[in-house]
Amino acid sequence: MNLSNTGGAGRGGNDGDIVGSVINHGKKKYWERGVSCHYHCTLQAGENTIESDITRECYNSITANGGVLSPQMLMDGYIKFMTTPGTHNDCYASTYHRMFFLNRQRGLPLDKCPDNDGHNVDTQDGLTITIPVALATATKPDREAEQAISESAQILRKSPACGKYGIVLGRMFRGLLAEKSLSEVLESAAGQPLERTLRGQDPVVA
C-alpha cells in the first residue's frame, strides 16, 4: 500500500490528499512511504471492507426505491458514505474510488466522475455491486435484468468489462434460483465441461 497514490489512480506519490481528507479520513498515515501496512490493517474482526459497505449501500438504495436500483440514489448514498468521517474503519480505497473523488474535486459532473486507468479498475471487486441487482431482477426478463446488471457495474467506475462479467454472474444466480445444479450453472458460464475448465483448457470454438 505504501506504493499507492493517495491523490489518484494506481501507484504514485503520497502528496495527494484524496485519501485522508476527502475519503478514508485519518488513514493517510498507513499509505506513507517507508511504512509497510496490510491493505485492511485497521479493520477489526467482523468489520466490513469498503467494498462490502458499498454493496450494502446498493441493497439499501434498491430497498428504498421499491426494489429497483436508482443510479442517482446509489451515487448519492456512495458519496455521503465515503465523504462522511467515521462511516467505516477501512484504511484502503481502490483506484476507482480515488479516481472518482479526484474527478469530483476537479469539478466534473458526477456522471463524468467514474473513471478507468486501464489497469486497476477492471477488477473482480467491481462485481460485488452487481449481486444485489442480479437478485433484485431475478424475476425480470433476461434482457431487462442484464441491462440493469451491466449498468450497475458502471455507476461508480467506468468499466464495460465489469458490466460484461456482471451479466455472466447474474446468469449464474438466475440458474441457481431456477434450481439448476451447480455443475450445470458453472458449465454454462464457462461454455465447456468443468473437467476441461479445471485443466485450464480454452473453450472449444465451433
- What distance in Å separates the CA atoms of residue 49 and residue 36, rounded to the nearest whole number? 19
The pTM assigned to this predicted structure is: 0.87
- What distance in Å separates the CA atoms of residue 165 and residue 173, rounded to the nearest whole number? 13
pLDDT in tens, 2-44: 667 888 787 777 777 899 999 999 998 888 877 788 889 899 9
pLDDT in tens, 76-125: 999 999 999 999 999 999 999 999 999 999 999 999 999 999 999 999 99
Q: Which domains are present in the chain?
A: 18-198 (1.10.4080.10)
Q: Mean pLDDT, the chain, as a whole number?
A: 89
**What local confidence, expressed as pLDDT, does residue 174 receive?**
92
Q: Which of 59, 26, 51 is nearest to 134 (CA)?
A: 59
Q: Which of 90, 87, 89, 109 is nearest to 100 (CA)?
A: 109
